[in-house]
Structure 1
Amino acid sequence: MPLTFVAGPARVRTPATSANLGPGFDALGLALSLHDELTATVTGPGVRVEISGEGTDELPTDDGHLVVRAMLATFDELGERPPGLAVSCVNRIPQARGLGSSSAAIVGGVLLARGLVEGGEALLDDAGVLRIAAGLEGHPDNVAPCLLGGFTIAWTEGAGARAVTTKTHPDVRPTVFIPSERGYTASARRALPADVPHADAAFNSGRSALLVHALTTDPTLLLPATEDRLHQGYRGDAMPGTTSLVAALRSVGVAAVVSGAGPSVLAFTEVPGDFTAGTEWRAVSLGVDGGGALAKGSMVRHAERGTVAAGRTS
């Protein structure tokens, strides 16, 4: 049956995210209170993208834009593309800094496409959104907290990505340190070895389990819970400033990790007032975003979510 596209605009607000969180490589993620705002309308033939904020004058303004690519992939999943699109992006999440800008674009695009289809939520539930978004991103650790909010644990099984979300302890108060330089996930992944020692894998398994408890129940354990042997050390040579800042924060008792693939740094607790990161870093105190991606014109929060499984839409 042909799709019916709605006349009015669809609007989505997507949060920044931090993935890995130290030992939880490709599995753990946290939504942060810094947001992109996206709007889309079905138009006549052609695609037009307007961008303000981060990425202005450098991101594509046609169907090569990641938001549009995610929209088109979703329309293909639903069975039909509209004749054309007008998209507006107000970007506040820094690009290529390890704060989930690509996941925010992908999740936003999938939700915009769903919102432009009459009865879209019945055709594509949140499980389907997660599955499509994770497939486009390549892994679910950023798209899960972007969609669901809060602290998420994501994994992949036969049908695709799944995730659970939970609230963090009130004493978890993130600060991100954002450098002027950029980092890129693909190059950061190339620094990782194909195999790791069994002892390191066992170490991270224990620390990941402890991190779940520390973030939700006992933040006093965050410093040992955020120790990692799987990825941060291997990427250190390519990000010496990031490595030095993480070490400096941890030396004064602050549980700090590389945010995603870097180069930003995430601190889970308040940073001492006399701590100086250096002029090359911009420190931003953020809350944990508990709601995740907000859709529709009124920006009404999604209903409370528990486990989101990846299942095929009908």
Structure 2
Amino acid sequence: MTSIVVRVPATSANLGPGFDTLGLALSVYDELVVTPVPDDRLEIEVSGTGAAEIARDESNLVYRSIVHVYADAGREVPGLRIAARNGVPHGRGLGSSGAAVAAGILAAQGLLEGDVFFDDDALLRLATELEGHPDNVAPALFGGLTIAWTGEDGPRHKKLQVHRGVAPLVLVPEHTVSTTLARSLQPMQVPREDAVFNVSRSALLIAALTQSPELLLDATADRLHQDYRAQAMPETYALVQALRQAGFAAVVSGAGPSVLVLCDGPGRRLEAADLAAAVTDTPWDAIMPAVDVRGGTVKVRAEGSA
């Protein structure tokens, strides 16, 4: 009997001005081992961060993602044993739901290998159908910095390589924030000057992340979503403002409440982490990941192998 082994990175979406468009893969991972079993039973084991909150039945998001792929391919889902080890913090703006969706999509791809072929566009389409938008699932699937958009033929993405001088820092609080709540606080319309501001900063951010890290502070300024969401996460907003006033390119990670700091060198990450510990009463867990360049990976493991 063979198992499918999947590893999917955490992601940070928006990156300041790139609302619902830009995403970055980070080297914090969810890992999954999926093994077909000879009957219709479903067994789910979960360990790691947020394990107590995760469903062990057919409502499990990884399992639902596998089922979605099989239904799209017109195939019947076999009995499965799923063992998940979660490293991506849940409910903190680091793409935990996108990681679960991507993991399930890739697990199904591995299970169906040799029977059904999925190209990158198909993987992104299937993941977006479940997640609702492609900004988190694109970097989870493909790694690096991704630009995601939806065209006439469905969701698409462009992967870019991040300049080696960019050093991410993620500051993670103990509390969570609902993505639904955060999105509900944004207005349906914004002033024209704010829209133009974000267009310019999003364009600049691509240059800063791929060529000129010294421009990151200006490039991560935003007027579309972070100020509106401040009331849902005042500690996050205060920390972002304090870091930016000190010259650090700090933004809300995804829907929050974690803070992403895009530093222009590893040493600056330590300075930013020290500042975070000094300026707020909220404890922040400082994580210093690399940019993940591979995205989700799939391996086949034969029974008895390591």
- Aligned position for 2:79: 84
Matched, 1:296 2:296: no
Superposed CA deviations along residues 80-108 of structure 1, whole A, max 9, x for unmatched, are 12231110100000001000011110011
Q: Distance in 2 between the 1:271 and 1:253 partners?
A: 12
2:287 to 276, 281, 284: 284
2:187 to 190, 193, 196: 193
Q: Which 4+ residue blocks in structure 1 deviate beyond 4 angstroms?
A: none
- Aligned position for 1:252: 246
Matched, 1:95 2:90: yes
Matched, 1:35 2:29: yes
Q: Distance in 2 between the 1:217 and 1:157 partners?
A: 27
Aligned letter for 2:73?
A: L
Aligned letter for 1:76?
A: A
1:109 to 100, 104, 112: 104
How far apart are residue 160 of structure 1 and its match?
1.4
After superposition, the CA RMSD in angstroms is 1.2
1:8-157 paired onto structure 2 within 5 Å: 8-43=2-37, 44-120=39-115, 123-157=117-151
Q: Distance in 1 between the 2:276 and 2:144 partners?
A: 29
Q: Distance in 1 between the 2:175 and 2:124 partners?
A: 30
Distance 1:272 1:59, change over 3 A: closer
Does the 8 Å contact 1:42/1:82 carry over to 2? no
- Aligned position for 2:304: none
Percent of counterpart pairs with the same letter?
A: 50
Aligned letter for 1:60?
A: A
How far apart are residue 109 of structure 1 and its match?
0.1
Superposed CA deviations along residues 105-149 of structure 1, whole A, max 9, x for unmatched, are 0011011011111415x5222211111001110000000001110
Does the 8 Å contact 2:243/2:276 carry over to 1? no
Does the 8 Å contact 1:254/1:271 carry over to 2? no
1:203-214 paired onto structure 2 within 5 Å: 203-214=197-208
- Runs of at least 5 residues in structure 1 that lack an aligned partner in the other structure: 1-6, 299-314
Does the 8 Å contact 2:25/2:140 carry over to 1? yes
Q: Distance in 2 between the 1:127 and 1:272 partners?
A: 39
If each structure's helix is expressed as a fraction of its own residues, which one has the higher value? 2
- Aligned position for 1:271: 269
Using structure 1 for the length normalisation, give the TM-score: 0.90
Superposed CA deviations along residues 5-48 of structure 1, whole A, max 9, x for unmatched, are xx411111000000000000000000000001011112211211
Aligned residues: 291
- Runs of at least 5 residues in structure 2 that lack an aligned partner in the other structure: 302-306
